[in-house]
Chain A
Amino acid sequence: GIQVEQSPPDLILQEGANSTLRCNFSDSVNNLQWFHQNPWGQLINLFYIPSGTKQNGRLSATTVATERYSLLYISSSQTTDSGVYFCAVTGGYQKVTFGIGTKLQVIP
């Protein structure tokens, strides 16, 4: 099956800092999503981005499908951005595979 690698595994930021999270995948994919799991365990949709670039407020994402990676940018980070960020890809057989996530802690 498709392998999904996320980096870095852990990240500590000062409030107001910017960061880039990366998702590499081992094969061509049909879809790619970014999720934020907040400290209460809820999984929140951030981006549905099989290719191209999207922006939503302080967050943006870029997927380069031909090179098999996606980037999630967080600008002017806030403490509410803390949690785990997951990348999930869909390959053959409609199986959705998640990366192990990037654990982000934003400190005041």
Chain B
Amino acid sequence: DSGVTQTPKHLITATGQRVTLRCSPRSGDLSVYWYQQSLDQGLQFLIQYYNGEERAKGNILERFSAQQFPDLHSELNLSSLELGDSALYFCASSARAGETGELFFGEGSRLTVL
């Protein structure tokens, strides 16, 4: 158990819909990262937050947004869903922002868009 909690574990929805994925980082970790992994693909970095503020942005679509709340949990919002958004979405956390410490991943949220 990495200590990073993601919900829901599985989600099936239809095209055009909107979903929210939630992540609770390890106790004490201030940084949260979101990654997308499409079928048989590598991990694509989406976005990073540190203590509530956006720190780095990757290949995140405009239809996607994220935030980190004062209690440090984070949410990734995916809207106007398309078939190609079907993927495994991972959240990771680490302790430091000045330099990236060791990342610990949650078990992922598997999104299926029909």
User: Count of chain B residues with Cβ under 8 Å from any Cβ of A?
Assistant: 24
Q: Is the CB of B42 within 8 A of A101?
A: yes
User: Count of chain A residues with Cβ under 8 Å from any Cβ of B?
Assistant: 21
Q: Is the CB of B48 within 8 A of A94?
A: yes
Question: What does DSSP make chain A's interface, helix, strand, loop or mixed?
Answer: strand
Tell me whether A98 and B103 are in contact in the complex, defined as CB-CB below 8 angstroms, given that A41-B108, A41-B110 are known contacts.
no
Complex formed: what's the CA distance from A93 to B100 in Å?
A: 9
**Chain A interfacial positions (CB closer than 8 Å to B):** 30-31, 33, 35, 41-43, 45, 48, 86, 88, 90, 93-101
- What are 12 inter-chain pairs, A to B, with CB distance below 8 A? A41-B107, A41-B108, A41-B110, A43-B90, A43-B108, A45-B103, A86-B43, A90-B99, A95-B45, A96-B33, A96-B45, A101-B42
**Chain B interfacial positions (CB closer than 8 Å to A):** 2, 33, 35, 41-43, 45, 48, 55-56, 58, 88, 90, 97, 99-105, 107-108, 110
